[in-house]
Amino acid sequence: MRPAATVAAQTPSPAQLQASQAEARRLSDAFVNVAERVSPSVVQIDVTSRDENADQVLRWLGRGGGDSPVARGMGSGVVFTPDGAILTNNHVVDEALTINVHLRDGRFLPARLVGRDPETDLAVVKVDAQGLVAAKFADSDTMRVGEWVVAIGSPFGLGYTVTTGVLSAKGRGGIGMNLIEDYLQTDASINPGNSGGPLCDLEGRVVGINTMIVGRGSGIGFAVPSNMARRAAEQILKSGRVERAWIGVGAQDLTPELAAMIKVDPRAGALINGVQDNSPAKRAQIKPGDVIAAVAARPVHDSHDLTREILAHDVGQTLELEVLREGKRYGTKVTLAARPGRPVPPVPVQQQGVPQPGLGLTVRDLTAQQAAQAGLPAKPLPLITGISPGSAADRAGLKTGDVIIEVDGTSEPTSTQVQQAAADGQLLLRVQRRESAFYAALRK
């Protein structure tokens, strides 16, 4: 049996319990403050894309093809400027036919794609709005591994979901998902739909843009660092594209074996394994076998460091490089050029031109038999047979195959009554979709 004094020493005193509870409340309040501060800047993004299998949903009504079927997806985004620029992931809007944005104040607005950067999986869309709450961005380089972080987004369409965790690692690369990888890693819960939403510090500043996970529920998520995301967004807003600095070398990390052979420390820098002709590095007399140890007086320890430091500067800048060659250290200057790359192809939403006119839905009457087979009153109710991408009907969430059971207060209307009611440019519909009904408001 342990002495009574030992047991007493391990039992928290009332003062210790009170101090512990106060500390827990302070941490809880910090999370609450982040959610309240950042949520007005977070949006849900809904997109439609082509889906050749979508017409199967209409077979229960006996309808064939003829319209262009679409699939729906969603993601998150963060308001970047008060006049409606929103930063998100490229994979959220890639192949999009239409893009619509849910704002925190309840508005549901169509968005246009300003530009995208597949190399980092970033994109900027814009809505017609003023006075939005733009998020503040932190310097991601100053973040420390182990710091608390908060993720906000719309996982599985559940808007404004807040999860917490820590910054698990920095400078993650080699995952093979994007051409340029320099991720922040976190164990804050990130799921499908979080993509494009912010990862924040306890000051409510964006430190990263949530991008992907490794295995659902694994506790391993990745975000594009805020410094990289902010630079890309600013360039897209300015010119519609991203121009990225480049010196024209191939680089790899030094292994202990390689370091021993060339008589340097394994963390001495990035080993150059190739130099492209007519590149800035070639003009700066850099050769395969050199080790770049510093860029603009900032130490470089591996190939990721080298890439990160080059990308942190603008095309046209001249930088001092510190190079190790054959046991000697020397300096050279390199003028950054624009990284060669293929033009970014447009997505369907960029090819559509002007918005669709009218309310954007077509209808035809079901036969009484078809309506009865669908569990509806045996009357010629209007079936929605087409939705124009980007139209008022599309923004209201209507789908091909929905059945209109009420229009402007009139129950069990015909398609002719729907057409007449739409003459003033607006409709209030009650719609049946499978076993459930809902209201939808349409306005030009």
Options 2.40.10.120, 3.40.50.2030, 3.30.1330.30, 1.20.120.530; CATH of 1-243+340-348: 2.40.10.120
Confidence of residue 32 (pLDDT cuts 50, 70, 90): very high
- Superfamily the domain 245-338 falls into: PDZ domain (2.30.42.10)
Quick: pLDDT tens for 210-235: 998 876 666 789 999 999 999 999 99
Single out the catalytic residue among 41, 46, 49, 91. 91
CATH 2.30.42.10 given to domain 354-443? yes
Tell me what the pLDDT averaged over the chain comes to: 86
- Comparing 64-78, 201-215, 387-401, the range with the smallest average pLDDT is 64-78
Q: Is 91 part of the annotated catalytic residue set? A: yes
- Residue 376's pLDDT is what? 81
Instruction: Using the CB atoms, write b or e for 51-83: b if 16+ within 10 Å.
Output: beebbebbeebebeeebbbbeebbbbbbbbbee
| Rounded Cα gap, residues 208 and 152, in angstroms | 11
Single out the catalytic residue among 195, 226, 303, 391. 195
Contact assessment for residue 228 and residue 120, using Cβ atoms and an 8 Å cutoff: yes
| Rounded Cα gap, residues 373 and 75, in angstroms | 36
Name residue, tokens 């963390």. 267
- Residue 70's pLDDT is what? 64
Q: Is 365 part of the annotated catalytic residue set? A: no
- Residue 373's pLDDT is what? 76
With 50 as the cut, is the pLDDT of residue 205 above it?
A: yes
Single out the catalytic residue among 46, 94, 117, 121. 121
SS3 of 49-81: EECCCHHHHHHHHCCCCCCCCEEEEEEEEEECC
Confidence of residue 9 (pLDDT cuts 50, 70, 90): low
Confidence of residue 67 (pLDDT cuts 50, 70, 90): very low
User: Could you tell me how far CA 3 lies from the centroid of its own chain?
Assistant: 59
Pair type for strands 148-153 and 270-275: unpaired
With CA atoms as reference, report the closest residue to 68 among 387, 404, 390: 387
With 90 as the cut, is the pLDDT of residue 297 above it?
A: yes
- Residue 433's pLDDT is what? 87
Token duo for residue 309: 């430091």
| Rounded Cα gap, residues 321 and 284, in angstroms | 9
Quick: pLDDT tens for 118-154: 999 999 999 999 999 999 999 999 999 999 999 999 8
What is the CA angle 6-12-18, rounded to 5? 165
- Residue 60's pLDDT is what? 38
With CA atoms as reference, report the closest residue to 270 among 255, 248, 284: 255
- Residue 186's pLDDT is what? 94
SS3 of 213-264: ECCCCCCCEEEEEHHHHHHHHHHHHHHCCCCCEECCEEEEECCHHHHHHCCC
Q: Would you kindly state where each structural domain of the chain is located, as residue ranges?
A: 1-243+340-348, 245-338, 354-443
The answer to whether the predicted template modeling score (pTM) of the entire model surpasses 0.85 is: no
Quick: pLDDT tens for 258-268: 999 889 999 99
Same fold, 245-338 and 354-443: yes
Q: Is 195 part of the annotated catalytic residue set? A: yes
